[in-house]
Chain A
Amino acid sequence: MHPAGSVILFTVASGLGFGMLTWLGLGLPDARGWVAFFNYALAFALAGGGLLASTFHLGNPQRFLKAFSQWRSSWLSREGCLAVACLLVMGVFALGAVFYDAAWQPLGYVGAALSVLTVFATSMIYAQLKTVPRWNHWSTPVLFLALSLGGGGLLAGQVGPAIGLLFLAGAMQLFAWLSGDGRFQERGTDIGTATGLGVRGIVRAFEPPHTGNNYLLKEMVHQVGRKHAVKLRMMAFALMIVAPLVLLMISSSVLMICLAVSCHALGTFAQRWLFFAEAEHVVGLYYGKR
């Protein structure tokens, strides 16, 4: 899949933002006043900014309101609804914390739940796609949630749980990579089933339908060099998981946390780039590509 900048920015930022909101909603930390203001500002900036970024890849963003209509069937619509609901609820909750020195906790719990659900919905946009076997697996939402809550936990200063979640995310990531690498093949979809010609012999794509380029190829057929991918994975893993853990084990000072968050965020960008770039859509089979 084409690793579009807007979508990478969207998933990474909103993941961190909603993850942080989850912690804030749970009252961890139970900040008030200016501290709360900066906490919520950061969380809203990440969550909202991410959502805004996601509209950059829309062909007709001015019609975005329609996207709230299909929550009963569409994970994308659900994600939109949940995100807005979450931001509204957490907005009110934040008002209390910033201006009224109050933690309207039931609201916070609802907001936290909505945050988790938002991230879950985001992940399900990808995990639901049978057309992308690598994504179409329970590990996708688990990984998204672990990263969101882990990264958000770091931002919220919840070092202890964050370390645990990063461990989980790290394990999940390794599992996702390892199991994901073979999933396309496991699913049994190949050029033979795609064309129905597999029963006749070995099928090979001959001429492409058009020598000219097209949307499908640009959007869904993205090939990453194998060596390149291995290097990037190592780098992503080191930054996203290993570096924060090492840093936090050395010290959990604010500076260290900041450093750990930066590493984690950078690593997550690389991870997310790979998440798209390594994902192979079955449509590539029609073009003799994966």
Chain B
Amino acid sequence: MTTLPTTTSAKKLGLVIDLDTCVGCHACVVSCKGWNTENYGAPLSDQDPYGSDPSGTFLNRVHSYEVQPETGPAQLIHFPKSCLHCEDAPCVTVCPTGASYKRAEDGIVLVNEDACIGCGLCAWACPYGAREMDQAAGVMKKCTLCVDRIYNENLPEEDRVPSCVRTCPSGARHFGDLGDETSEVSQLVASRGGMDLMPELGTKPVNKYLPPRPKDVPADLDILAPYLEPVSGTQKGFLGWLDKALEKL
């Protein structure tokens, strides 16, 4: 049954997304579309792709938000979002067929498309909008964490990461085992204050977001001499300084 695995393994594979670094280029969005159209399950289809109301299945989308702090200019933050592979994944337990499941081995949440009736309830249960019903295949699609890449012996070892991570030009996406405190991703989360989305819903997402660093904060200035001190108030004085400075060279 698609209750969540009772013996949760220590391994929790997931992504850490650095909001301080993401420039919002959508590289991850399209790389994901490409890989998952050709690989796991049904292709990610597009409806009316050249028409007046184009739409399609994407497993990863990059939002953007403006934040107006109390002081200082507004900030713009690019925000990639895909399945968070929650520890307490509501999308799994609602599934009537067992198509939706969380792998006991590594915590990846997957849809077995052969068993999916396309009822859409798992998408309703997901707070994050991580699941999209493919309109051509009638089955639920979601991020697989590229389960067909990360263990794939046909790929060189360094490529055994999700396609979004491999392609991200700014290195804003990190993949690893968040169940292992010593892993690089866990260390990043610890040092940068990685956060959960909608923690109040109790889904316990595995994926973490690194918040943007403080912005538009003036550099630590010496209060007594906050800015550059002129060498002289006059042109002549400047030339005098210059002469002395050149002597020292």
Chain B residues lying within 8 Å of A195, measured Cβ to Cβ, are 63, 65, 77, 79, 197
Which of B93-101, B159-167, B225-233 is found at the contact surface with chain A? B93-101
Query: Taking CB as reference atom, which chain A residue is nearest B116?
Result: A60
Interface-lining segment among B126-134, B169-177, B179-187: B126-134
| Closest Cβ–Cβ distance, residue B83 to chain A (whole Å) | 13
Interface string of B84-97 (1 = CB under 8 A from A): 00000010011111
Which of B56, B65, B99, B201 has the most A CB atoms < 10 Å from its CB? B65
Indicate the member of B68, B94, B124 with the most A CB atoms within 10 Å: B124
Whether the Cβ atoms of A213 and B54 lie closer than 8 Å is yes
- Closest A residue by C-beta to B3: A73
- Asked if A77 and B127 make an inter-chain contact with CB atoms under 8 angstroms apart, the answer reads no
Closest to B113 in A: A60
A180-212 interface with B by 8 A CB criterion: 187-189, 191, 193-197, 200-210, 212
The reply to whether B124 and A129 contact each other, CB–CB distance below 8 Å, is yes
Counting residue pairs across A and B whose Cβ atoms lie within 8 Å, the total is 205
Partner of A219, one of B54, B64, B90, B120: B120
Chain B residues with Cβ under 8 A from A189's Cβ? 127, 198, 200-201
Within 8 A of B (CB), among A34-69: 57-61, 63-64, 66-69
Question: Does B119 lie at the interface of the complex (its beta carbon under 8 Å from any beta carbon of A)?
Answer: yes
B125: chain A residues within 8 A (beta carbon)? 128-129, 131
In contact, A283 and B127 (Cβ under 8 angstroms): yes
Residue tally, chain B, CB below 8 Å to A: 67
CA distance A61 to B117 in the complex (A): 6
Is residue A162 within 8 Å, beta carbon to beta carbon, of the partner chain?
no
1/0 per residue, CB under 8 A from A, across B52-73: the answer is 0111111001111111111000
Is A214's CB under 8 angstroms from B58's CB?
A: yes
Q: Are A191 and B132 in contact (CB under 8 A)?
A: no
Taking a contact as CB atoms under 8 Å apart, the answer to whether A194 and B61 are in contact is: no
The CA-CA distance from A123 to B154 in the complex, in Å, is 48
Complex Cα gap A1–B123 (Å): 12
Partner of A70 from the list B67, B70, B95 (CB cut-off 8 Å) is B95
Q: When the two chains form their complex, are residues B77 and A197 in contact, meaning their CB atoms are under 8 A apart?
A: yes
Query: Which residues of B105-140 are within 8 A (CB) of A?
Result: 115-121, 123-129, 132-135, 137-140
Chain A hits for B196, CB < 8 A? 196
- Closest approach, in angstroms, between the C-beta of A70 and any C-beta of chain B? 5
With A195-B79, A201-B68: A286-B132 Cβ-Cβ less than 8 Å: no
- Asked if A76 and B121 sit within 8 Å, CB to CB, the answer is yes
Interface residues of A, count at CB 8 A: 59
Q: B195 interface residue, CB < 8 Å from A?
A: yes
Contact of A228 with B by CB under 8 A = no
Q: Mark B1-14, 1 if CB is under 8 A from A, else 0.
A: 11100000000000
Chain B residues, Cβ within 8 Å of A213 = 53-55
Partner of B117, one of A60, A132, A196: A60
In the bound complex, CA of A129 to CA of B126 (Å):
9
| Shortest beta-carbon distance from A267 to chain B in Å | 25
Known contacts A74-B2, A220-B124; A187 and B65 CB within 8 A of each other: no
Partner of A59, one of B77, B118, B129, B199: B118
With A197-B67, A215-B132, A216-B132 as known contacts, state yes or no: A187 contacts B200, CB within 8 Å. yes
Which of A64, A67, A282 contacts B127, CB < 8 Å? A282
**Interface flag for A237 (CB, 8 Å):** no
The yes or no answer to A15 lying at the interface (CB within 8 A) is no
Given that A59-B138, A63-B97 are contacting pairs, would A70 and B2 also be in contact in the complex, using a CB cutoff of 8 Å?
Answer: yes
**B65 contact from A61, A203, A214, A282, Cβ within 8 A:** A203
Q: Which residues 205-253 in A have Cβ within 8 Å of B in the complex? A: 205-210, 212-216, 218-220
Interface core residue of A58, A59, A283 (most chain B CB under 10 Å): A59
In the complex, the answer to whether B68 meets A220 with C-beta atoms within 8 Å is: no
Interface: B75 (CB within 8 A): yes
- Chain B CB within 8 A of A125 CB: yes
Which of chain A's residues have a CB closer than 8 A to the CB of B124?
Answer: 1, 129, 131-132, 219-220, 281
Residues of B within 8 A of A141 (CB): none
Residues in A whose Cβ lies below 8 Å from that of B19: 197
In the bound complex, residues from chain B placing their C-beta under 8 Å from that of A220 are 123-124, 129
CB distance from A241 to the nearest CB of B (A): 28
The reply on B81 being an interface residue by CB < 8 A is: yes
User: Is the CB–CB distance between B68 and A66 below 8 Å?
Assistant: no
A residues at B contact (CB < 8 Å): 1, 57-61, 63-64, 66-70, 72-77, 80, 125, 128-132, 187-189, 191, 193-197, 200-210, 212-216, 218-220, 281-283, 286-287
22 contacts between A and B (CB under 8 A): A57-B120, A59-B116, A59-B118, A59-B140, A61-B118, A66-B99, A66-B115, A69-B1, A69-B96, A69-B98, A74-B96, A76-B121, A129-B94, A189-B201, A196-B196, A202-B67, A206-B66, A206-B76, A214-B56, A215-B132, A215-B133, A220-B123
